[in-house]
Amino acid sequence: MKKTLTEKIFSKKLGRDVSAGETILCDVDLIMSHDTTTPLAIQSFEKLQMDKLHADKVVIVFDHIVPAPHPAGAELHKSVYAFAEKYGIQRVHYGEGISHQIMAEKGYLTPGSVLVGADSHTCTAGAFAMFGTGMGSTDIAVAWATGQTWFRVPETIRINIRGTLPQHTSSKDLILTITKEVGTIGAAYKALEFGGPTVDAFEMPDRMTLSNLAIEMGGKTGLIASDGKTIDYLKSRTNETLEELHPDPEANYEKILELDADNISPQVAAPHGLEKTVDVQELKGIKIDQVFFGTCTNGRVEDFQILADIIKGRQVARKMRLVCTPASKEIYLQMIERGIAQTILESGGVITNVGCGPCIGRHQGVLGDGERCLSTMNRNFQGRMGSPNSEIFVSSPAVAAVTALAGEIADPREM
C-alpha cells in the first residue's frame, strides 16, 4: 500500500502495514514532560502502584518556571528531582531551554521514531519526520510504566507549498496563513504533512516553526519528510542511525491543499485566537506596550538575527518593553558570539534566562490590565500572558522587530 508519513512511521514500529483509522498499541521511543506537567504525571504514576518505570525512554525538561519564581515552584522542582533520582532517570535538563528545542539540540528527535510529550507543542518533533504528539499527564504516567501507548492512526492532510517567500516574510507568516485557511479545529485529530519545493528549501528552524503550529489547527502532529538537511542537523548530535523518510507519491490523503508562497504577506493574529489572522496592514497603527521575542516557535538564533538586523543602531519606542527569551542555552551563546545580544541590550531590550519566559504568563514579562503585547509565540488565548483584560497579537519576527521600534503594529515592508 502507498503510505503517508504517519502510516510509514507506525508501520515501521509495528512491523506490518498500518492504515489511517486503525487503533493500535505502539511502543514509544521517548516520553517527555516538563516541570509543570511532570508533578501531575508523578501523582498518576504513584496511583498505578507500579515498581518499574522505563527510565531509558524518559526526558524531563525544566523550562516553564525556571528559575523557580515562588516557593510553590521550588517545591515542584524538588519533587521532580527526587522522583528522577528514585527511578534513575538520566535525561533531566534544568535551565538549558525549552523542551522542544532541547529535544532537537540533544539529538533526541530522529526520523521514524515516536515521541509522546506532556505538552501540546510536542508536535514540533514532526519537523524531523518523527511522530510527536502531546498527551495528558495521566497518559504520560501510563507510558512511563508500560513503554507503550495507544493511538488511533490519524488521517493526513497534505499541504503542498511552492514558490519563494517575498522579502520580509517568513515561515511564520506562511503557517499563520495556513492556520487561517484550515481553521483552528479544521485538522482535529489529523496529521498535517507539509511538503513541496518551498518546504524542501527550508532549513530546520523554519521547518520546526511549521510543525510547531500543527496543534493550533487541532492537528495530532505536523510531519515533514527527512532529507539531507535533517541528517546534517542531527549527525553531530546523535549516534542513532538516521534515515531519509518520505511519503509515497500516491499516498491516500484525506485532503490536499496547494499554496503559493509567492503570494504570502506579513501576517498578524489579533486577539483572541489564530483564526483572527489578517494582513499586517489591517492592524497597522495599534498601540503596543510590549513586544515578546522567543518561545518554541520563534526563539531561535535565526529569529533573533532578524530582530538585530532591524533594530541595530536604533532605540525601541518610548514606553515600549522589548522582552527577549532565547529558546535554549545554545542559542543564547550564539547570540552572544554574533553580537546579537549586545545589539538588543544597546537598543533598549531586555534578555531573560532561557526557557518559555512570559509565554505561559508565570513570570518574566506578564501583562497588566488593558496592556497589549505583540509576540512571536504560537498562541494568543485570552489571559495567557497575565491579566485576562490584556491582549496578545501574534506575528513573525520581522513584524515584531519593527513594532518594537514604532511602538505600534508596523509593516516591515515599509521600514
Tell me: do 16 and 128 sit in the same domain: yes
Tell me: do 179 and 277 sit in the same domain: no
Q: What is the pLDDT of residue 363?
A: 87
81: Cβ contacts below 8 Å, ≥ 6 apart: 92
Q: pLDDT, tens digit, for every residue of 246-281?
A: 999 999 999 999 999 999 999 999 999 999 999 999
Tell me: do 361 and 229 sit in the same domain: no
The model's pTM is 0.94
Tell me: do 218 and 272 sit in the same domain: no
Domain that holds residue 147: 5-260
Tell me: do 328 and 389 sit in the same domain: yes
Q: How far apart are CA 415 and CA 409, in angstroms?
A: 12
Tell me: do 155 and 234 sit in the same domain: yes
Domain boundary, last residue among 260, 293, 322: 260
Instruction: Measure the CA dihedral 15/19/25/26, to 10°.
Output: 50
C-alpha cell at 237: 548530535
Domain boundary, last residue among 213, 238, 260: 260
Tell me: do 48 and 168 sit in the same domain: yes
Tell me: do 327 and 364 sit in the same domain: yes
* Number of structural domains in the chain: 2
Tell me: do 228 and 297 sit in the same domain: no
170: domain CATH number is 3.30.499.10
Closest CA to 297 of 151, 127, 157: 127
Tell me: do 222 and 291 sit in the same domain: no
Tell me: do 272 and 242 sit in the same domain: no
Q: What is the pLDDT of residue 359?
A: 87
Tell me: do 108 and 198 sit in the same domain: yes
Q: How far apart are CA 379 and CA 231, in angstroms?
A: 30
Is 383:360 a contact under the CB 8 Å cutoff? no
What is the block-wise mean pLDDT of the chain (415 residues), using blocks of 10 residues? 96 95 96 95 92 94 93 94 95 96 97 97 98 96 96 97 96 96 93 97 97 96 97 94 93 96 96 94 97 96 98 95 97 98 98 92 90 95 89 97 97 92
Q: What is the pLDDT of residue 407?
A: 97
Is 251:9 a contact under the CB 8 Å cutoff? no
Domain boundary, last residue among 260, 283, 312: 260
